[in-house]
Chains A and B, each alone.
Chain A
Amino acid sequence: MENRDFEKQWNNCKEVYAKAKCPLGNNELEEFINRAMMETQHTAAKPNAKSRRLWVWSISAVAACMAMLLVVNTVVAKPADEFQRITIDGQEIIFACNNGCSPENTVEMFNSIIK
């Protein structure tokens, strides 16, 4: 019995929709529409899902490239590990040394350039 009552109420709610009637006449409705148009500005259309996805991909790709550049920059062009001093022909040269260079092989390199 209670179940039947519930179903009856449920179905009655569906009937309300079917019987709905707007009480506004044509002129009144026109006034409502005009007021809405006067009072409200359009909002810019949102990008659709496809172009939103494209944007997300583009931004992710740019971010990934930047991150990679940062890593490469840090690893390859890292600051000097240490400074070395060498003397060639009585002149002292101070140079930044990376990748484990030693004064000996640097002197050799300089000498080969001078020669």
Chain B
Amino acid sequence: MDNSEQRFKEMICRHKDFIWHICSSYRMGAAWEVSDMFQEVLCMLWRYYPQFDGRSGERTWIYKVANNTLISLKRRAANRQQTDDAIPEGCYNDDKTEYNDFMRLIETLEEKDYSIVKAHLDGFDYAEIAQMVEISVAAVSMRLSRAKQKLRKMYEDGK
């Protein structure tokens, strides 16, 4: 096994929970199990691994590749019916239906805003999100605040 394979394996082992979480937060419908998405993301991570130059953190890079992979999978699965079973068991104490409704609301955002909101909810700071979506930190802050306002309005209107 060469050096890069070993380093790649170690990186995946370090971030497996995180990658699984990213996959499980995308709901693609019955055709895509979380494990299928996980496999697809690992393929893409391995494919682009030579391009990882360490300028951004491992976590940020993984998130960016995984997010792009899953967004394109989601586009392909757009016509298929969404299911609610992708949320990992034991990850959420409250009512799953409420969580799903809220996630569905977030999914109605425009693709870039969706990526920004999701990255924020997944614990990334503004600078990391700016690196991922390739816009300035100020723009991230502005778009996040607008997206949140929009979500709040939709949430309240939907009640």
Which residues of chain A have a CB within 8 Å of any CB of chain B?
A: 2-3, 5-6, 9-10, 12-24, 26, 29-30, 32-33, 35-37, 39-46, 48
Contacts and interface: CB of A to CB of B under 8 A. Distances in A.
Contact of A14 (B12, B17, B18, B121): B121
Interface residues of B, number: 47
Interface of B: 5, 8-9, 12-13, 16-21, 24-25, 35, 38-39, 42-51, 53, 87-88, 90-92, 94, 98-99, 102-103, 106, 121-123, 148, 151-152, 155-156, 159
A37 B39 CA distance: 10
B17 A21 contact: yes
B39 A32 contact: yes
15 contacts: A3-B156, A9-B99, A10-B121, A10-B148, A13-B102, A14-B122, A16-B92, A17-B21, A23-B88, A33-B9, A35-B39, A36-B43, A43-B48, A44-B50, A45-B50
DSSP class of A's interface residues: helix, strand, loop or mixed? helix
A21 B42 contact: no
B47 A29 contact: no
Contacts, number: 114
A40 B13 CA distance: 19
B103 A13 contact: yes
A2 B99 CA distance: 16
A44 B123 CA distance: 31
A36 B99 contact: no
A21 B91 CA distance: 8
Contact of B13 (A17, A19, A29): A29
